[in-house]
Amino acid sequence: SRRLKVSSAQLGPINLADSRASVVKRMMEMLKEADSRGSKFIVFPELALTTFFPRYWMEDPNEVEKYFESQMPSPDTLPLFELAREKGIGFYLGYAERTEEEGSTHHFNTSILVGPDGRLIGKYRKVHLPGHDEHRPTVPYQHLEKKYFEVGNLGFNVWKMFKDEVIVGQCICNDRRWPETFRVMALKGAEMVVLGYNTPSDNVYAPHEPPYLRVFHHMLSLQAAAYQNGIWVVATAKAGKEDGFWLHGGSVIVAPTGEIVAKGTTEEDEVISYDCDLGLGEYIRNTTFNFAKHRRPEHYKLISER
């Protein structure tokens, strides 16, 4: 059967004082660990190179720019790309992207898929940007993704990876809470969807929501998405307390049956791995969720209109 050994490489906290080079070093250590387990594909978190900076209100555009990458690989990330290529490992990486397009500068919350040969295979720019764009002086921290990023302009796509053995889709953090994200990629043939996330343990808009419920909603979304589309889902956290601001862990690998087959137990740098049977989702996609046979898109029109 077709198999792919996958690892999720969760990062513990990245504080404001931590350099990109120090973070890349941590990622390289985890890549070596994944390699020693025989993994061929590693999923790193969203905005993996810096602290989760959208929690900070910044008025000076030059201060904001410090968190963005204008090229990838960048000088700081190049050693990670080189090590991955040397080991023949593909990966997913999230970062803040600054790009010049049609004569103006744009900022996106971006992820890329890199093949085991070091080639850039695919890019995704986050579509569902949570939070707000105005300063909220009364809350303990901000969630300014709507201020610092534009809505992604590339849509939800899928790519053939590993000698065309598997069709992989990618998304980022809040996208995982929206069923449409996974359904569009599944309709394009995705067999595995990978993503990174930074999720505060408390809900700044609803302080009564306890941390356990935040983790439950995270798992619920991923498990439902995996089962309802017959796909593997790999989700990787940036976790722990970044300068005191708590992000929950719970990195997981979910089978197309909706079952969790590997799960992180810490909020620190941690690698979890699983040898995925890529054919496992076929029976689901051929029976209960046989899209061609059973979907009724004529009754779903409202979804794309509103």
Is residue 147 annotated as a catalytic residue, yes or no? no
**Shortest distance in whole angstroms from residue 126 CB to ligand CDT:** 8
Catalytic residue among 40, 123, 126, 238: 126
Helix axes 20-36, 78-87, angle to 10 degrees: 10
**Shortest distance in whole angstroms from residue 39 CB to ligand CDT:** 25
Q: Contact, 238 vs 15, CB < 8 A?
A: no
Whose Cβ is closer to ligand CDT: residue 144's or residue 280's?
A: 144
Is residue 126 annotated as a catalytic residue, yes or no? yes
Whose Cβ is closer to ligand CDT: residue 115's or residue 200's?
A: 200
By CB under 6 A, name the binding residues for ligand CDT.
46, 130-131, 143, 173-174, 177, 197-199
95: buried, middle or exposed (CB in 10 Å: 19+, 13-18, 0-12)? buried
Catalytic residue among 173, 267, 270, 276: 173
**Shortest distance in whole angstroms from residue 16 CB to ligand CDT:** 17
Is residue 173 annotated as a catalytic residue, yes or no? yes
**Shortest distance in whole angstroms from residue 36 CB to ligand CDT:** 30
Whose Cβ is closer to ligand CDT: residue 117's or residue 134's?
A: 134
Token pair for 60 = 């000076």
Whose Cβ is closer to ligand CDT: residue 73's or residue 131's?
A: 131
Active site residues: 46, 126, 173
